[in-house]
Amino acid sequence: MHPPLGRPEALIAADRCYFCFDAPCTTACPTGIDIPGFIQKIRSDNIAGSARTILRENIMGGMCARVCPTEVLCEQACVRHTHEDKPVSIGLLQRYATDPILDKNITLFERGPESGKCVAIVGGGPAGLSCAHRLSMLGHASVVFNRDEKTGGLNEYGIAAYKTVNDFAQREVEYILSIGGIEVRNNVSLGEDFKLSDLQGEFDAIFVGFGLGSVNDLGLANEDVEGMLNAVDYIAELRQAKNKGNLPVGNRIVVIGGGMTAIDIAVQTKRLGAEHVDIVYRRGPEQMGASRYEQEFAQTSGVNISHWAKPTKLLTGEQRVIGLEFERTTLDKDGKVTGTGESYSLNADIVFKAIGQSVSEETLGAVSGTLDMQSGKIVTDDHRKTSLPGVWAGGDCVYGHDDLTVSAVQDGKIAAIAIDKYLREESNNG
Amino acid sequence: MADLTSDFVGIKSPNPFWLASAPPTDKAYNVNRAFEAGWGGAVWKTLGEDPPIVNVNGPRYSALHSNERRVIGFNNIELITDRPLGVNLDEIRQIKKDWPDRALIVSIMLPMEEKTWAKYVPMIEDTGADGFELNFGCPHGMSERGMGAAVGQVPEYIQMATEWCKKSASIPVIVKLTPNVSNILPPASAARDGGADAVSLINTVNSIMRVNYDTLTMYPTTDGMGSHGGYCGQAVKPIALHMVAEISRHKDTADLPISGIGGISDWRDAVDFLALGASNVQICTAAMVYGFKIIDDLTDGLSNFLDQKGMSSVKELVGKAVPSVTDWQHLNLNYVEKALIDQDLCIECGRCHVVCEDTSHQAITSTLNGERHFEVIDEECVGCNLCVSVCPVDGCITMQHITDGIDARTGQPISKEAIDWTTHPNNPMRKRS
């Protein structure tokens, strides 16, 4: 969304960093990147060192520099806010440091001395790849089972195209895999092509990071009519389309939801030529999963955002969507969203569902009943260990996860460190 | 409006800002532009004997930059004028005719033979110039030929050459000193003993800027080889101020008028030099970095400052700070200050904490009840001013004078009585009363 920084701009931006003690930005980063440290290295033109500082905590530092909601994470914590209200441009500086590494394919990490152990990774998204990379650094081999045709998960299929041009997601995947010791098997689905129990005997440990299966339904009648689309599926299709101009776009679009996906699909369809794009969210702007910056970005892109309304009825004609009826909402005295009784309707030829995704029954299949679950998601401890022996989990499929790429990467990293400890203890005991 | 006019050893100028002898004053064209912009005077780039010297045709300058590419320090290896003497003299004559109200001083550098001085000094004075400045400071190139800093580093030579110049000159003679000495007082005294009307200082400091990281050769080079240059710009100002103050505060040299030079880039820098005893100032690097227009802020800022201080002329400011400069041994060792952090201004960057913790006295907290919080611990604070120096917020940390009660660090009562090292009980050489 922002153009990348050139060296002169980067040096000026870097100079604004105060090099704080126990830096609040680092505390705010889900992966704990030493932000003043990498910025200091930009100041001294030590780009490889800067990139290593970033990537050793977050191997997807390049993608996160593009998609992280920095304004609510590191940049919100920046002490420059106190008197100036203008934080150091941490996200842009991170991109400045990491882009050359991928562009020139500079090796920063090497595979550790081989342990002879092999870990199964279910899911080829940020959590799985992060876990696989860290395991490789620690000397363990891994096999990544990925349900899609391409590796990368939501980085490849779930982020709007305008955020990640030039096939960045695939280049980042290639860079991650170039460390060696990671075998990727694409087009294999858990539950369909293999079971978790198949892996248990074959591998020394398992990491589960398969994301989310399906989008929640709105709970309305006739949701399968023409014109009702799933935002995540549409973005995936769009990202893979050779000619984006050939994709069907409506003229009047309504997006239901308040997260990053809602913003992505709204901005993307507006850019593809939709006349009216409305996002409708059942709570207020503060509760939206999308950051304030993203909201403003959508609004300046011509998207209308309405708060405090929930869909109550699908309006159809000739077996397709023609509009939606909404009821205005408010908070009751317990803080729960409740309808006010007041209603209105919007015309729509396409309705995108972009509301909370959850683990689907089919995806869980064989593992259901053996894993501790809550609200359809896997429960883990602080080390990302599940209730199942030898199985760790991370990313969107985990309960309490905040749906950010950066958090998925952190999950993978933490799990890998825990798996390493487990495997080494196991060898010592064995 | 304060009066900015200046009378420096009888040389009058509309303001106390002269361009120093350097590349900006090598030609009539440049000096003309400077006077049009409002500069009070100019010291013409150093003249030498004919045939003129030859300058390198590669890099003559290089800079120490901040990350915003602001020039902090500057280095040059240019020698004196490389134009024929006659051309320079004609241009000086014309400029003085065109700008009678501006000060025009001619810098000269001649071999250490009396007859040479006797030959050239009258010839140069004939242009109508207001004074001479003897270049005993240039530290590169010319010093290898026994001139410039090679003279300025030997007080006897300074005195000798000054005497030769004075013999032939009827206009004021200013001796420009090199900072490449361990003590500035002997050269200043030698200039005075030789009859100099004034001294100007500092010239540039011996310097090598850096290495070229690709070739691992010094940077910059001429055909692969480099030579040390002269360092100037903002970075050298503190060195210059110390030398100016030394001359101002010592009784042997206190009466010697000083033209202050070294890193002046705005009016505040000029105030520093004037308050420490310079009667006027000379500027080069700032003009070479920003052009002549900086004179607007120099004159305007100084004038506003004088008004604010209730001073009617520059003269009232000259030397004001000199009485506050002394030897370390005379500092009051019973005086106590401690840092105080204004919690409303603090942005919680923690820089004060980490530098105090790592490199000083462990006198600043990092947390209070588990929350990020930076506060001075009076029991540990020695009042060193490091936290004030590194704090990015101006005015957030201040030093507080403790006037009574107990010093929390030493447990001793604050004494109103001043005691310095000369009388301190810990000094085995103390003077006994």
What's the complex ipTM? Answer: 0.81
pLDDT band at A223 (very low <50, low <70, confident <90, very high): confident
Q: What is the pLDDT of residues A370-399, one digit of tens each?
A: 678 776 788 999 999 998 889 999 999 898
Residue A430: predicted pLDDT:
59
Residue A368: the pLDDT is: 45
- Tell me if B349 and A79 make a contact (CB, 8 A cut-off): yes
Whether residue A22 and residue B393 make contact (CB cut-off 8 A), yes or no, is no
| Reported confidence tier of residue A88, pLDDT bands at 50, 70, 90 | very high
In A, minimum Cα distance to B213 occurs at A45
Which residues on B lie below 8 Å from A83 (Cβ)? Answer: 345, 347, 393
Nearest to B22 by CA among B121, B138, B127: B138
Query: Could you give the 3-state DSSP secondary structure of residue B331?
Result: coil
Which contacts (CB < 8 Å, 24+ apart) does range A385-388 have? A385/A415, A385/A418, A386/A208, A388/A196
Instruction: List the single residue in B66, B347, B372 with the smallest CB-CB distance to A83.
Output: B347
Q: Report how far residue B26's alpha carbon sits from residue A190's, in angstroms, rounded to the nearest whole number.
A: 82
AA identity, residue A264: D
Cis peptide before B202 (omega within 30 of 0): yes
Q: Is the peptide bond before B428 cis (omega within 30 degrees of 0)?
A: no
Nearest Cα of chain A lies from the Cα of B52 at a distance, in angstroms, of: 41
pLDDT band of residue A189 (cuts 50, 70, 90) is: confident
Query: Which residue in the set B66, B68, B354 is minimally distant from A21, CB to CB?
Result: B354
Q: Which residues of B touch A18 (CB under 8 A)?
A: 347, 349, 351, 392
B23 and B288 Cβ atoms separated by less than 8 Å: yes
Interface probe for B, chosen from A12, A21, A43, A80 (most Cβ of B below 10 Å), is: A21
Mean pLDDT of B79-83: 97
The pLDDT value given to residue A160: 75
Of the candidate ranges A258-267, B22-31, B131-140, the one whose mean pLDDT is the lowest: A258-267
3-class secondary structure per residue, chain A = CCCCCCHHHHHHHHHCCCCCCCCHHHHHCCCCCCHHHHHHHHHCCCHHHHHHHHHCCCCCHHHHHHHCCHHHCHHHHCCCHHHHCCCCCHHHHHHHHHHHHHHCCCCCCCCCCCCCCEEEEECCCHHHHHHHHHHHHCCCEEEEECCCCCCCCHHHHCCCHHHCCCCHHHHHHHHHHCCCCEEEECCCCECCCECHHHHHHHCCEEEECCCCCEECCCCCCCCCCECEEEHHHHHHHHHHCCCHHHCCCCCEEEEECCCHHHHHHHHHHHHCCCCEEEEECCCCHHHCCCCHHHHHHHHHCCCEEECCEEEEEEEEECCEEEEEEEEEEEECCCCCEEEEEEEEEEECCEEEECCCEECCHHHHHHHCCCCCEECCEECCCCCCECCCCCEEECHHHECCCCCCHHHHHHHHHHHHHHHHHHHHHHHHHC
Q: What are the residues facing A12 on neighbouring strands?
A: none
Q: What is the mean pLDDT of residues A52-61?
A: 97
Instruction: Band the pLDDT of B360: cuts 50, 70, 90.
Output: very high
Contact A21 B347 (CB under 8 A): no
Mutate to test the interface with A, among B345, B346, B349 (most CBs of A within 10 A): B349
| B393 contacts on A by Cβ (under 8 Å) | 83
The beta-carbon neighbor of A22 closest among B66, B345, B350 is B350
The tens digit of pLDDT for each residue in B338-354 reads 999 999 999 999 999 99
Q: Quick one: closest CA in B to A27, which residue?
A: B372
Among B67, B69, B350, select the one facing A21 at the smallest CB separation: B350
Catalytic member of B138, B165, B346, B356: B138
Average pLDDT of the residues of chain B? 96
| Residue range A40-69: mean pLDDT, rounded | 95
Residues of A with CB under 8 A from a CB of B: 8, 11-12, 14-15, 18-24, 43, 79-80, 82-83
**Cβ pair B66:A15 closer than 8 A:** yes
User: Rounded to two decimals, what is the model's pTM?
Assistant: 0.81
For residue A15, what is the nearest residue in chain B, using CA coordinates? B67
Q: Under an 8 Å CB criterion, which residues of B touch A? A: 66-69, 345, 347-351, 353-354, 366, 372, 392-393
Provide the shortest C-alpha distance from residue B297 to chain A (in Å).
Answer: 25
Mean pLDDT confidence for B165-194: 98
pLDDT of A155 strictly over 90: no
For residue A44, give the chain B residue with the closest CA. Answer: B67
- Asked if B69 lies within 8 A of A22 by C-beta distance, the reply is no
| Minimum Cα–Cα distance from A45: chain B residue | B67
Count how many pairs of residues, chain A against chain B, have C-beta atoms within 8 Å: 42
Calculate ∠ Cα B249-B253-B254, nearest 5°: 45
Residue B349 with chain A: CB contacts under 8 Å: 18-21, 79
pLDDT single digits (tens) A282-306: 888 888 878 888 899 999 999 999 9
Among candidates A14, A15, A79 on the partner chain, residue whose Cβ is nearest the Cβ of B347: A79
Distance of alpha carbon A56 from the chain centroid:
19
Which residues in A lie closer than 8 A to residue B372 (C-beta atoms)?
22, 24
Decide if pLDDT at A245 tops 80.
no
The answer to whether A190 touches A148, Cβ cutoff 8 Å, is no
Quick check: is B352 catalytic? no
Q: CB of B312 within 8 A of CB of B277?
A: no
Q: Compare CB distances from B67 to A12, A23, A82 and report the shortest one's residue.
A: A12
**How much of chain B exceeds pLDDT 90, in percent?**
97
CA pseudo-torsion sign B147, B152, B153, B154: positive
The stretch A180-198 carries a mean pLDDT of 88
Chain A positions in Cβ-Cβ contact with residue B392 (cut-off 8 Å): 18
Confidence at A197, pLDDT banded by 50, 70, 90: confident
Where does the pLDDT of residue A313 fall: very low under 50, low under 70, confident under 90, or very high at 90 and above? confident
CB contact under 8 Å between A80 and B350, yes or no, is no
Of the candidates B67, B347, B348, the beta carbon closest to that of A43 is on: B67
Buried b (16+ CB within 10 A) or exposed e, B198-209: bbbbbbbbbbeb
Mean pLDDT of B30-34: 98
Name the residue in chain A with its Cα closest to that of B365: A21
For every residue of B239-276, DSSP letters joined together read HHHHHHHHHHHSTTTTTS-EEEESS--SHHHHHHHHHT
pLDDT score, position A260 = 81
From B387's Cα to the closest Cα of chain A, the distance in A is 13
- Are the Cβ atoms of A20 and B351 closer than 8 angstroms? yes
Q: Which residue from B67, B351, B354 is facing A14, i.e. has the nearest CB?
A: B67
Nearest CA in chain A to B352: A21
The secondary structure element, H or E, covering residue B118 is helix B114-125
The pLDDT of residue A215 is 53
Using a CB-CB cut-off of 8 Å, the residues of chain A touching B350 are 20-23
Indicate whether A220 pLDDT > 80.
Answer: no
Q: What is the mean pLDDT of residues B298-314?
A: 97
B374, closest residue in chain A (CA to CA): A21
Token pair listed for B141: 């190139």
Interface contact A15-B350, CB threshold 8 A: no
Do B351 and A21 lie within an 8 Å CB cutoff?
Answer: yes
Residue numbers in A near B341 (CB within 8 A): none
CB contact under 8 A, A12 and B350: no
Residue range A105-115, pLDDT digits in tens: 999 999 999 99
Q: Are the beta carbons of B392 and A18 separated by less than 8 Å?
A: yes
> Is pLDDT above 70 for A178?
yes
User: What is the chain A residue with the closest CA to B66?
Assistant: A15
Inter-chain CB proximity B353 and A21 less than 8 Å: yes
CB contact under 8 A, A8 and B69: yes
Q: How confident is the model at residue A213 (pLDDT cuts 50, 70, 90)?
A: low
- A12 neighbourhood in chain B, CB within 8 Å: 67-68
SS3 at position B14:
coil
For residues A419 and A226, the model is more confident at A419
